[in-house]
Amino acid sequence: MAKKIRIIDSTLRDGMHAVSHQFTPEEMAEIAAGLDAAGIDTLEVSHGDGLGGSSYNYGFAAAKDEDYLKAVSQVLKNSKLGVLLLPGIGTAHDLEMAAKFGAKVVRVATHCTEADIGEQHIKIAKELGMEAIGFLMMSHMVPPEKLVEQAKLFESYGADAVYVTDSAGAMTPYDVKKRIEAVKDAISVPVGFHAHNNLGLAIGNTLAAIEAGATYVDGTTRGLGAGAGNSQTEILVAVLAKLGYETGVDLYKIMDVAEELVAPKMRRPQIVDKAALSLGYAGVYGSFLLHAMRAAEKFKVDVRDILIELGRLKTVGGQEDMIVDVAYELSKAKKQ
């Protein structure tokens, strides 16, 4: 029997980073209807930084979370509606609102050493009848043993699955294999993997994760996402079909969603350019990319220097203000 792999498509959440969070609810509804018809199990919707992300720090979205959720939930026939929440950015109130508008799945995303700040939200999600998934961001920054400790915490709070998340697209297949194997051995709920393509390894890393025991994997159509984007859903579907895995997704239909619905709405090409490659090389949070490009422009410094310095400083999500500090310091040093 073919092994089942669950694909969570994040075109309408991680993909929001690539369009500076400017999809409209109507655009989201059109893409969501296509993803649903193609057989996507779960699709994630919100600002790129999750519920409550629309702000000065992360950039304002074109619409409110509830407008996106309302628009998408109206067109879904089979796919589950998911949201992402970073505790502190999103609140319990946001989660209740998402449940009210039809969200059935929440991924509670924390830095890979801070699962404890997700306890309350996992528990609230369970009380609301939602599937709750722990999402350990920037997983390249810590060794497998640390991820195991954090995954166990999520499991102890009642998480239904735990993700190893390569937020910086900094891992090689070997890094992925070690982490997934260790987490898989330590917990009894499913393990997931979320890739970014900054080193051009998103699909390869996702396959390494599956071989190591992950059964939930993420994709975005056209690879739309932070940095160089994510594993491209339509490629993932094709590759997994060739390898004999069952995803439930119709290949032609998902190709058509990517080509006809997503591609025309893209604001910039989703490629591994020098800035995106620097993110993966330096191990920097993918959603820093557009902020760093703007800072490079403003302070007339090389975006690669900003990203390499942010990597050296081991900055993590939530420290977006550091991008401007680093750019400013580099510009001062250049003038001296």
Should residue 14 be labelled a site residue for Mn ion when binding is judged by CB under 5 A? Answer: yes
Any binding-site annotation on 196? yes
Question: What is the torsion angle, in degrees rounded to the nearest 10, for the CA atoms of residue 86, residue 89, residue 90 and residue 91?
Answer: 120
Clarify whether 47 is annotated catalytic.
no
Q: What is the DSSP letter of 332?
A: H
161 phi and psi, to 5 degrees?
A: -165, 160
Should residue 94 be labelled a site residue for ligand LCEJXURD when binding is judged by CB under 6 A? Answer: no
Any binding-site annotation on 13? yes
For residue 19, the SS3 value is coil
Token pair for 231: 């594993």
Should residue 94 be labelled a site residue for Mn ion when binding is judged by CB under 5 A? Answer: no
- With contacts defined by CB under 5 A, name the span among 8-16, 46-54, 61-69, 271-279 that binds Mn ion: 8-16
Neighbours of 20 (CB within 10 A): 16
* Site track for ligand LCEJXURD across 103-142, x = CB under 6 A: ------x---------------------------x-----
Interface residues for ligand LCEJXURD in 147-176 (CB under 6 A)? 165, 167
For Mn ion, the nearest residue by Cβ is 14
49 binds, among Mn ion, ligand LCEJXURD, none (CB under 5 to 8 A by kind): ligand LCEJXURD
Give every CB contact of residue 81 below 8 A, 6+ residues apart in sequence.
Answer: 42, 43, 45, 69, 72, 73, 102, 103, 104, 105
Tell me the residue type at 41: D
d(CA 245, CA 122): 30
* Site track for Mn ion across 173-212, x = CB under 5 A: ----------------------------------------
SS3 for 115-135 is HHHHHHHHHHHHHCCCEEEEE
- With contacts defined by CB under 6 A, name the span among 28-36, 47-55, 300-308, 323-331 that binds ligand LCEJXURD: 47-55
Q: Which is nearer to Mn ion, 49 or 181 (CB)?
A: 49
Any binding-site annotation on 121? no
Footprint of Mn ion on this chain (CB under 5 A)? 14
The residues carrying an active-site annotation are 17
